[in-house]
Structure 1
Amino acid sequence: MSYKYTTFFKWISISIDYLFLNLSLSIGLLLTSPSYLDSGIPDQYKLNFLLFNLIWFYCSHLVELYQDVLSREAIPTIKATILALAMYFSGLLALKLTLRQLALTFEFVWLSSFLFGFVLLTVKVAFLFIRKTKRHLLMNYKKVVIIGAGQTGEKIRDYINRTPHLGYKIEGFFDDRPSSAQNLDILGSIDQCFPRAKAMGVSEIFYTLPTPDKERVDALIHEADKNMIRFRLVPEINLFLEKNVFIDFNGPAPILSHRQEPLEDRANRFVKRVFDLVVSSLVIIFILSWLIPVMALIIKLESKGPVFFRQLRSGRYNKPFYCFKFRSMHLNDESDKKQASKGDARVTRVGAFIRKTNIDELPQFLNVLLGDMSVIGPRPHMLKHTEDYSAVIDEYMVRHYLTPGISGWAQVNGFRGETKDMQSMQKRIMADIWYLENWSLLLDLKIVFLTIWLTIRGDRDAY
């Protein structure tokens, strides 16, 4: 793909964003401290503003916000913007809490961050809309042909047609074999490729034939170089893997992966951890601080035993950790082996209520604060269940790439509670893997709200 003004638009984007950042800081300060309208902004605050600019530089650099501003698709652009804003806001809060010499109020931090976030997202959305309608003015479209009218060639053709922002225009196919597909424009044999491609002004050739003949490929590459046509070799990966693959590079070597994991990115992990710390701290301070003494009294009055139930569960990378819950059962010898079932005699009267309303799970916010769990993630299973299910479900252990959560995508989609058959557990695992491959901060927020809604509405699988 080739864009005429990539560098120009990158610096235009950077300049506009920093302009709005400093305008938001100035407006936020003047709204919270109107006296500076007459006297002007003191030098001390100007130095603080410089520090905030450096924080934004770091956050935007982590998510590569200004890379490929013309070619990056809309959804990844918005996600990167939201991630950068979340990290920036977290950085400002951390500075305010740790550096007392910053004479800035929380009101200023909230207001300036809101103004900047609102303006930035509005500008990004407007730019993406304009870019979509005017993309043809920004691009140099390249004519390309495909050698090989097979399945891979069709997929390449369809993908390029679906994504016009790549800047390619398919002229047709060259193949020695007759194609069974009726909708392919076969221009000739492979030997006719370069004379016709040069006459049509083709810039690139995609070679998609399976099991390529090395000598023939070398000859085609040599011919392409002679005619100043770029040659792209497309291996038929689907011969080895039955699902989409993702390509990364380790130096000059391409690395193929059959799964994409957003939380492998450090910036994403940082955002998720900040989210966990903020949510768990709020719950502990405003809910558990008074709920624990109340629940301790109620649980102790009904049955003998500890207030908290501690159980070893499988954590990230299958590392065991003690998961905390309010005790909802009478003391028994089966708690580490047997799941709770409907009408379970082990469950106390108070336990039935707190399990139905998910109150028994609230102490797990202590696990979140300690880093053993996350607010959102796959539910941690008992060690016995991990051992049993991993032996019969092929992808079961994949869920342990993630930190386990208090709630998760599987839970809000109906796969919670007792797993009575293998199919139920497989559906839960598939939901956990989907979450692993599609994580975003917005998805976590969505799951939080769905969890709250299910708790209010009542979940028939909670017992």
Structure 2
Amino acid sequence: MPILKTLATYRFSRYYKIVFLVCDIFLLNVAIALSFWFRYGDLYLEYFRGDKAVSLLLNVFWIMLLLYKDSYRIIRTEPIEAILYRTIRLLMIQIAVVAIFINVMKYEEVSRLRMVFFYATFFVLLVSFRILFMKFLKFIRSRGYNFRKVVIVGANAMGERMNRILSKDLTYGYRVMGFFDDTVDSAEVKDPVLGTFEDVEPYLAKNKIDEMYVALHISQLEIINKLTALCERYMVRIRYIPDFQQYTKANRVEVAFYGNGNIPVLMLRKEPLELSLNRILKRLFDIGFSIVVIVLVFSWLFPIVFLAIKLNSSGPIFFAQKRSGRNNESFYCLKFRTMYVNDQADALQATQNDSRITKVGAFLRKTSLDEFPQFINVLMGNMTVVGPRPHMLSHTEHYSELIDNFLVRHYAKPGITGWAQVNGYRGETKELADMEGRVEYDIWYIENWSFLLDMKIIWKTVMNIFQGEKNAF
């Protein structure tokens, strides 16, 4: 495959910007033409003066948006959701600017319906192109092309963590050749150790290396400076992995620059939902989604479940339990009752083959139908559709003593489903490690929230319901 090999060399990455630009403008004009077809039945593009002006603005302003900041940024380990999120954000900006332009210029002849057709078509074309482009890059990398050779200086826990990230998926396009260090942490490092600090320069002289990741403590500043000079001499791009663990155990931190960008300030973690716009977006979705579920599903599901529970056991239909919410404030979480009435419900988790669970309750738990009343909690505002699962108050008190960052998960509203649940951390927590894993996933969600991530979690939740979950009991 000589053509593919030529296109898929490392240098291909340098030209993807122009590929994006050309393809985006092509797709934009295709969407303009199709919007006329959908609205008027043909591709004649010169109906009115306003249409010409708006079409020109669409092209010019989209080019400006693409050239602005990091609109073209593609990190090899970046999930497709992040790329799509940036694209949708740009699209929303353009919609707002074009709408203002049409109203200010009083282009009444511009069909609003045609503009709806245009943006719907452009959105589909853009998303399809982004996904296909990423799949193309993954394909050529999986065939051994378009990869970068990497060495890691620092055979320690941080270096091994970076190694796992870069080596997690071959389609990322990284080949970790090995480690350099004077002292090797054999309990952490699995890949080959290529030598000591003194062996770095001879290795770079003999081998073509694209990137070096430095995972050394700041106390080794002299060595870091030497490595920087070596990388500049041998044209190797150097990446520093700062040891933030000396400040915090957070997996993700944010650096702000104060004083005209001269002073970097480290902040504990980035929380996208601290932005008012994101909170509004999430709340609007919660309200709309919960209303749809309550009207279309809960309205007919409730009488069926009502009869089933009543015929199977005595007691109330709903089980309302105090649980820990946002900022660790308690609220009553609603569920369909799945157990016989008992005195241990507020202290003891359900276990496999739990004798307290009724036959109807076992079915409700297995299919997650017992959670449907929580859409009422969502509508009331004390829960969200997607977020960390709420725990019993006794469990919050217990685990907050055992896990240092346990309460961080309460920075967000609790959800009906969550990132931890779709990754296997659902149901009983038999071991402390089970809860630690759940907390790790919950904190990752808080630090990496996006609307597309919520959609992904909802989709995986629905798939898990139909496929069945072994931890649902």
For the superposition of Structure 1 and Structure 2, which TM-score range results when normalised by the shorter chain? Answer: 0.5 to 0.7
Query: In 2, distance between residues paired with 1:458 and 1:37?
Result: 49
- TM-score between both structures, scaled by the size of structure 2: 0.61
Structure 2 residue aligned with 1:392: 402
Structure 2 residue aligned with 1:437: 444
**Superposition pairs for residues 168-317 of structure 1, below 5 Å?**
184=194, 212=219, 237=243, 240=246, 248-251=254-257, 252-253=263-264, 255=266, 276=286, 279-292=289-302, 294-296=304-306, 307-317=317-327
Q: Aligned in 2, Cα 1:431/1:265: closer, same or farther, shift over 3 Å?
A: farther
Aligned with residue 20 of structure 1, among 27, 33, 37: 27
Structure 2 residue aligned with 1:117: 127
**Superposition pairs for residues 30-69 of structure 1, below 5 Å?**
30=37, 32-37=38-43, 40=46, 64-67=70-73
CA contact (8 A) 1:260 1:437 kept: no
Instruction: Quote the offset at 1:66 in angstroms.
Output: 2.4
Deviations 1:250-309 (A, max 9, x none): 32235276x787767888877766765564343233212333455456656777766544
Query: In 1, distance between residues paired with 2:427 and 2:214?
Result: 51
Deviations 1:293-351 (A, max 9, x none): 55456656777766544333212332323322234456666543344454544x56654
Query: In 2, distance between residues paired with 1:48 and 1:260?
Result: 38
Q: Aligned in 2, Cα 1:8/1:297: closer, same or farther, shift over 3 Å?
A: same
Aligned with residue 323 of structure 1, among 333, 342, 349: 333
Deviations 1:378-430 (A, max 9, x none): 321122221122223344323324432223344445543344x4x0x531440
CA contact (8 A) 1:311 1:324 kept: yes
Structure 1 residue aligned with 2:415: 405
Query: In 2, distance between residues paired with 1:413 and 1:77?
Result: 16
Structure 2 residue aligned with 1:377: 387
SS of residue matched to 1:312: strand
Greater shift in the superposed pair: 330-339 or 390-399: 330-339
Greater shift in the superposed pair: 363-372 or 289-298: 289-298
Instruction: Quote the offset at 1:235 in angstroms.
Output: 8.5
The sequence identity of aligned pairs, in percent, is 32
Query: In 2, distance between residues paired with 1:153 and 1:330?
Result: 49
Deviations 1:143-193 (A, max 9, x none): x999x987699879989x989x999xx9x9899x9xx99965679699xx9
CA contact (8 A) 2:420 2:441 kept: no
Q: Does 1:455 align with 2:465?
A: yes
CA contact (8 A) 2:33 2:45 kept: no
CA contact (8 A) 2:34 2:43 kept: no
CA contact (8 A) 2:317 2:336 kept: yes
SS of residue matched to 1:66: coil
Query: In 2, distance between residues paired with 1:111 and 1:231?
Result: 40
Give the superposed CA RMSD: 6.5
Aligned with residue 80 of structure 1, among 82, 103, 111: 82
SS of residue matched to 1:321: strand
Query: In 2, distance between residues paired with 1:311 and 1:82?
Result: 39
Q: Which runs of 5+ in 1 are unaligned?
A: 198-203
Q: Which has the larger radius of gyration?
A: 1
CA contact (8 A) 2:36 2:45 kept: no
CA contact (8 A) 1:246 1:256 kept: no
Query: In 2, distance between residues paired with 1:248 and 1:361?
Result: 35
The count of residues paired between Structure 1 and Structure 2 equals 436
Q: Aligned in 2, Cα 1:306/1:150: closer, same or farther, shift over 3 Å?
A: closer
CA contact (8 A) 1:368 1:375 kept: yes
AA partner of residue 378 (structure 1): P
- TM-score between both structures, scaled by the size of structure 1: 0.62
Structure 1 residue aligned with 2:207: none
Q: Which runs of 5+ in 2 are unaligned?
A: 1-9, 104-110, 205-210, 258-262
Query: In 1, distance between residues paired with 2:466 and 2:162?
Result: 49
CA contact (8 A) 1:83 1:271 kept: no
